[in-house]
């Protein structure tokens, strides 16, 4: 079937590349701070976002109004703590590029949460699934080894089969492969002691959550995604007061430990 569709897919891919607007990464500081509601909960919770175009905020104007900034806000509300955020990424990065030079060194203040976004460029470059499995397994192992005390959160593949920038049947073909890659990502995350955070498919049904290119999230899309990632990392919000309050450098007691895996969702 794919062989029969190959000429159509090639033409559609070429037209999509020509017609899709090229958006720049977000600007502004690549690190920031969000004050928490309860100053008595100890030092700031530290989160670093690592990865490709969505890590560097393509589709948004500033990092503070993209995934890192919005994720810090959501974490601050759930943990009732101040949150320090930073980003290390590159537009167009593959998993191998992330492994090769985008994971920050383990010096200074270690992060409490590491979020990695990867896969869309491997999809577009037709990375074989067996090599993708090896890459994502190596990436998870690298992050868990470098930041052993942190929760490593691996963002799931987006619902490519609903991207407005992609025509059919190209959208369906890429979407099916993205779902296969996401299953591999989930298995690698769980085997490596990380958290897999599947992307909510319903997000892709709201055109307001897409940027002008119909491919990347808008600022509103990043905010919605950040909310889901914060829930995946810490399903239970911290209590306002009481024994769940955090000690120095630790998440609240009712939040999952590093590497805790939320319930698996149906494929």
**pLDDT band per the 50, 70, 90 thresholds, residue 13:** low
pLDDT computed for residue 238 by the predictor: 65
CB 63 within 8 A of CB 69: yes
Residues contacting residue 58 through CB under 8 Å, at least 6 positions apart: 23, 24, 25, 26, 91, 211, 216
pLDDT at 243: 43
- Look at strands 83-89 and 31-34 and give their pairing: antiparallel
| Boundaries of every domain in the chain | 2-233
Contact 222, 70 (CB under 8 A): yes
Q: What pLDDT score was predicted for residue 150?
A: 98
Contact yes or no for 123/159 (Cβ under 8 A): no
Over residues 185-202, the pLDDT tens digits come to: 999 999 999 999 999 988
Single out the residue of 87, 93, 46 nearest to residue 65, CA to CA. 87
For the chain, what is the largest distance between any 2 Cα atoms, rounded to a whole number of angstroms?
A: 64
Q: Tokens 């299953």 correspond to what residue?
A: 183
Q: Is the pLDDT of residue 129 over 80?
A: yes
Residue with tokens 């930041």: 147
At residue 156, what are phi and psi to the nearest 5 degrees?
-75, 165
Residue 176 has pLDDT above 60, yes or no: yes
Position 2 scores a pLDDT of 52
What counts of helices (H) and strands (E) characterise the chain?
Answer: 7, 6
Check: CB of residue 113 under 8 Å from CB of residue 72: no
Instruction: Indicate whether 76 pLDDT > 80.
Output: yes
7-13 long-range Cβ contacts below 8 angstroms, 24+ apart: 8/169, 8/170, 9/169, 9/170, 9/173, 12/166, 12/167, 12/169, 12/170, 13/170
Identify the CATH assignment for 2-233 out of 1.10.10.10, 3.40.50.2300, 3.40.228.10, 3.40.50.1110. Answer: 3.40.50.1110
Number of Cβ atoms within 10 Å of the Cβ of 205:
10
- pTM, to two decimals: 0.85
Whose CA is closest to 178, among 154, 197, 156? 156
Q: Which residue has the higher pLDDT, 214 or 152?
A: 152
């Amino acid at each position: 079937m794919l062989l029969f569709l190959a000429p159509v897919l090639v033409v559609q891919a070429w037209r999509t590349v020509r017609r899709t607007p090229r958006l720049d990464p977000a600007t502004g500081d690549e690190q920031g701070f969000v004050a928490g509601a309860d100053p008595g909960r100890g030092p700031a919770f530290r989160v670093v976002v690592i990865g490709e175009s969505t890590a560097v905020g393509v589709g948004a104007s500033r990092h503070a109004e993209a995934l890192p900034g919005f994720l810090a806000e959501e974490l601050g509300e759930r943990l009732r703590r101040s949150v320090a955020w930073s980003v290390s990424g590159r537009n167009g990065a593959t998993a191998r590029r992330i492994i090769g030079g985008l994971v920050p060194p383990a010096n200074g203040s270690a992060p409490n949460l590491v979020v990695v976004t990867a896969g869309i460029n491997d999809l577009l470059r037709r990375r074989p699934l067996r090599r993708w499995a090896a890459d994502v397994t190596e990436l998870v192992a690298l992050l868990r080894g470098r930041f052993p005390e942190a929760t490593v959160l691996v963002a799931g593949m987006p619902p490519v089969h609903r991207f407005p920038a992609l025509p059919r049947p190209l959208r369906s073909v890429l979407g099916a492969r993205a779902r296969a890659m996401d299953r591999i990502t989930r298995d690698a995350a769980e085997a490596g002691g990380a958290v897999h955070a599947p992307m909510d498919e319903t997000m892709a049904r709201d055109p307001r959550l897409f940027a002008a290119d119909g491919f990347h999230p808008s600022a509103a899309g990043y905010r919605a995604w950040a909310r889901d990632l914060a829930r995946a990392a810490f399903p239970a919000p911290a209590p306002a007061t009481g024994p769940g309050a955090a000690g120095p450098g630790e998440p609240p007691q009712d939040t999952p430990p590093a590497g805790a895996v939320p319930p698996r969702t149906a494929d």
